[in-house]
Every structure is written in C-alpha cells, then in structure tokens.
A and B are shown apart, each in its own frame.
Chain A
Amino acid sequence: MTPLLDVENLRVTFSAGRENALPWSPQRVVKAVNGVSFTLRPGETLGIVGESGCGKSTLARALIQMVEAEGSVTFDGTTDLLSLSPKRMQPYRSQIQMIFQDPLASLNPRMTVGEIIAEPLKTHQPHLSAAEVKARVRAMMERVSLLPNQINRYPHEFSGGQCQRIGIARALIVEPKLLICDEPVSALDVSIQAQVVNLLKDIQQEMGLSMIFIAHDLSVVQHISDRVMVLYLGKVMEIANRAALYSAPRHPYTKALISAVPIPDPAIERAKKHMLLEGDLPSPLNPPSGCVFRTRCPIAQDACAQSAPALASAENDADHFTACHFPG
C-alpha cells in the first residue's frame, strides 16, 4: 500500500540573526526540525510527542508549506508538496486540513460560525450555491454535535469545547484526506478533552481519514494513535506502534517520558519508580554534538558525543525504530 504521506529528511531552519552586529560575525541558525523522516499510511493516526520547543508544531506547519522547509514530503505517492508553487499547492490544501491549539483564537471573532465553517468550502468549491453551502455547513455542524440553529452565532458565545468542534467542522467540511491536529486538546479541560478526542476518533473511522496528532499529553496520544513518534530537539528519537512504544520503549528519553505520566491511583503512583531527567532542553542554537539527548541521558557514554545515532529498527519488531547507540 502506498503511504499517504512519505516524509524524507525534513529540515526547517530559522535564521536567528548574527551573534553581534558586526557584518562578519557568523550567522546563527536554529534547526527547529532536523532531518525527520516518517511515513503515514492511509487511515492511520500518527501521534507526535515531545516537550515544548522540540519542533512538533514546526513540523506540522512545514508539511503544509506554512514555513519553508527542505527535504521531501510525498503526498499520495506522487507529488512532492515542498516543490509545488503556491498556486499548484492550492488543490492539496483542501486535502490536508489542520486543527489548532487555542480553540477561540483560531476562529475569527467578527465572523459567524456559519461563515467560519463555510470559508474553506467557498475557497475550494466556489461553484457551490449559497443554499448548498449552508446545507453542508448545517450537516457538518450536526456531525460534530453542534446545534445547526446556532449557525448565526459568534465564536465568543461558545465554550472552549464547542469552539474546538467548530474548528473541526471547518477542517472537515472539504472532506480532506489528512487532518493535522496541532495540540487540539491541550487548551481544554479533561472531560472536554475526552469528548473532542472521541469525536475525532469517530469521524476518522467514518471518513477514513489519516491523522497526525500532536500533543504533549502521552495518555491522550495513547488513546488515539496507531503509531507514535517521539521528537527531541528537532530529531526523531523513537517511532513505533503504540503498543510497542508504551509497553517496551527502547530509547531512554521515551522511557523517561512514559515514567513521568501520572497514574490516577495514589498507591500505584507513589510506588512507581520515576525516572527524572536532569536539566533543560539544550539551546537549539547550539545543540550538543553527536546524540542530541546525551546531555540529559542517564546511560550516555563517550561514544554518544562522537556520532549521532541513526534510526534503526529493532531485531524483533521491524516497525520499531530507535535512534540510540545503546537501545534497551
């Protein structure tokens, strides 16, 4: 089966100006995403986790040309999205839609809900009549459990969870093949998170969508993903099927992340052995040599500073890739 998305060696760099104002001082460059490769099969959900500043959101934006990137992003086995001009990219924009983190901020406060949801439809299918657009908006609102008679209301009249459903309706109205969710639930409280995640899951099955689900909450990712990718400082640390990653993580960073997930049972939680990472994320302006994780890694050795480990599959699981010299 051809993958829906085949990402090869994706790199995003931002210029951070010169070290000082002298014209011959070196340019500083932030490598926000540094050589990420993965594939996404049709109908599959890929969870992307990592701490703040590891390049999750930048990666998502690079896929749809919202930031400039190098490498290749092959869509549907045929087209490299990164090589397309904005004009030729246009038809693909309706096939890849995005959901954003802050539900209220992602809706224009001066537009009614109906106008907001209809906007992608009007952009990509301008031949539709006003009545058809309205009918489809109403159907979509019903699908995401919003009352269709609220079509003339404004975003500030809705709760956070409802706003996120409006955002989902806007993304799905053009029937995309791929939905990129950039931390869609981190701004919501837990009970609403469950509603939104379950809605996404239902819709995905109904429409046969592929999803890229970005989050920093590992339990949410576990609930929704088929496969999970762990990012650290713009690099892939580990990518594996959900079950394998959560039950048998091989990378020390993934182990630390998973041990940090709180268990809602005080007895188990207290007895659990936490694996604390020391220090902070190193500055992406000046990443460590060799393996980027070595400065905080509990099992780092001299070899880790010499060369960066490549992603390699495990012996017993061909889908389980780890970038570590000493995977365990």
Chain B
Amino acid sequence: MLTDTGKIEEMATRMAEQDVRGRSPWADARRRFLRNKAAMTALVVLVLVALFAAFGAQFTSFNNEDIDFMVIGQVAELGYPSLASGHYFGTDDLGRDLYARTVQGTQISLMVGILGAGVAVVVGTLYGAISGYVGGALDNFMMRIVDVLMAIPYMFVLIIMLTAFGRSISLLFIGIGLLSWLDMSRIVRGQTLSLKHKEFIEAARASGVSSAKIILRHIVPNLLGVVVVYATLLIPSMIMAESFISFLGLGVQEPDTSWGALISEGARTMKFGTLWQLAFPLFFFVVTIFAFYFVGDGLRDALDPKDR
C-alpha cells in the first residue's frame, strides 16, 4: 500500500486530542475593525499624535518655558515657522517655541481626555451595573444621586471652583473625573437591565453563583462593547471641555499649556499676522478629535454588526 495507515491514524488521534482554539467575539470584532479603512487610518493618526506627545520633545533644543530673546518683540517678522531657526512651528507671542509648547499641550489634553474616560469606564460601569442588576430601592437611590449630580450645571461649578481655589490642573482633573461617569452609568444601567433577564444570567443564578460574580463575570464582559464605544466618544468631549475651560483662561497654569490655551492665545494674536500660532494647535486638536470619532465609529461597527 502506498499510504502508511498507521501514520494517518496517529495524526488523526493527535488532531482529535489537540484542543481547538475558539474564535471569541472579541477576535471577530478585531477582525472587522482591522478591515475598516477609515477607522484604521484614524487609529494610525492617534498613535502618531500619542508618539508626538511622548517623544516630540526629543527633536527640539527648546523647551516650553524658555523665551528666545532673538525673536522677542519681532515675533511676526522673525518668529515664523522655519527649520533653519529651529522653531518648527514658529514661536508664540512671548517668543517661546511653539513646537515645544504644542508637545506639552498635547500631553495635557490627551491626559485629561484619557483620565476622564478612564474614570467613566471604571466608576460608571461598576456603578451602573450594580444599580441595574440589584434593582429595586438601591437602583432608585443610586440613580437619583446621578440625577442630582447631573442637574448641577457643572461647567459653572467648575469655573467657580477654579476661580475660588486658584487655577490648577489637578482641580481640573478632579472636576472632570467627578462628572464624566454620570452618563456612562446611565447607559450601563440600561444595558444591564436588558441583560439581566437573559437566560444565561438566570442559569448562573439558578446554579447559585453570587451576585458579585454574576456582575463581574457575566454582565460586565457583555457590556464592554457599548462601554468601549462610548469611552472613545467621551475622550474628545473631555478634551473639548478642558479646552473650553482653558480657552476661558482658567484651567492649566503657565508655563504649562494645553490645546485650548494655545488656541486661545493663537486666536488673540490672529490680527498681528501670526496665524501659525492658531493653525498648529488647532490642527492637532481637530485631527485628534476627528480621529477619535472615526475610531469610535469603527468600534461600534465592529462590536455591533447587527446594527449596521
């Protein structure tokens, strides 16, 4: 005989013994996301912006505080963007290097966005899931707290806080962190209510799995799709909130800066012919926010193929 039956059988048993790797819903979503051109482009842009924030400072000899006395007083004539002078993005009104300031502003803005979304994901998800799963009086109590906090005009309160306690970035972080999770907790609660009566939750309850484990093992993983999508859309709105506060002149403190503060300065000096002071920070701001929206959109399509 040409074929060696013994070997074939051996292979067959080996194949039967080897565990098949399953394709998880996450792997499916990843595949769909990788095929989405717009979202992948946006993701690449975001990675570049992040790299710019992390390593951009290595490529210039200036830092965000030092004033270049060569250009001071003649910013419009000498402070324009140029590779020769080393001011790639030009200088600001005081003669500080705008490239170094944009790098530093990007760090702050991204940090605000990611921190706000991070708090929302952790606190909002757990709060909403507990409230929705336990239900009854506790649900009512927890959601009324959210309602009360939502009823406070938070931008107003934040501005008062910043004027009363002085401008500081940590206060801004606290303010944004305190409020970002409210919407998330409501969304998660709604999703939990619809998950709670699914049969697999009932099956877990019937076999005596504790409530904490049901929330962490069954409810939260099934919510994560919605949470991830909402979080990516929350980051730009957090960045915008910070920019708004900084635009008003509150928020970050000199010599630190953020996109909002840079855009505000640039807008103020537009009429002196130093348009680059507005253009560079605005470019980063717009591109990043667009990219976050595209990524969020791509994630939604990837995680929720039914709704397309």
Contact = CB atoms under 8 A, between A and B. Distances in A.
B223 to A, nearest CB: 10
Interface in B9-23: 16-23
Identify the interface centre among A119, A167, A170: most chain B CB within 10 Å of its CB: A119
Given A112-B22, A149-B20, A106 B209 contact: no
A150 interface: yes
Contact of B207 (A93, A113, A157): A93
Interface string B108-144: 0000000000000000000000000000000000000
Interface residues of A, number: 37
Interface in B187-203: 198-200, 202-203
B161 to A, nearest CB: 41
Given A149-B19, A150-B20, A152-B19, A108 B206 contact: no
A157 B23 contact: yes
A82 interface: no
Contacts of A113: 22
Interface string A79-112: 0000000000110011001101110011111111
Contact of A101 (B19, B199, B208): B199
Contacts of A101: 199
Nearest to B222: A110
Contacts of A195: none
B255 interface: no
A111 to B, nearest CB: 8
Contact of B199 (A93, A100, A157): A100
Contact of A102 (B21, B26, B199, B213): B199
Interface string B252-276: 0000000000000000000000000
A12 to B, nearest CB: 16
Nearest to B199: A106
B171 to A, nearest CB: 39
A246 interface: no
Chain B, interface SS category: helix
Contacts of A109: 25, 200, 222
A310 to B, nearest CB: 32
Interface in A211-249: none
B19 A94 contact: no
B188 to A, nearest CB: 16
Nearest to A173: B207
Contacts of B17: 149
A90 B208 contact: yes
Interface in B243-298: none
Interface string B197-228: 01110111111111001000110011000000
Given A100-B203, A109-B25, A112-B22, 16 more contacts: A64-B206, A94-B208, A97-B206, A97-B207, A100-B199, A106-B199, A107-B200, A107-B203, A108-B217, A110-B25, A119-B209, A120-B207, A149-B17, A149-B18, A150-B22, A156-B25
Closest 8 CB pairs of A and B: A93-B208, A153-B22, A106-B199, A120-B207, A110-B221, A105-B199, A108-B200, A100-B199
12 contacts: A93-B208, A94-B207, A105-B200, A106-B202, A106-B203, A108-B204, A110-B25, A111-B217, A119-B204, A120-B208, A150-B20, A152-B21
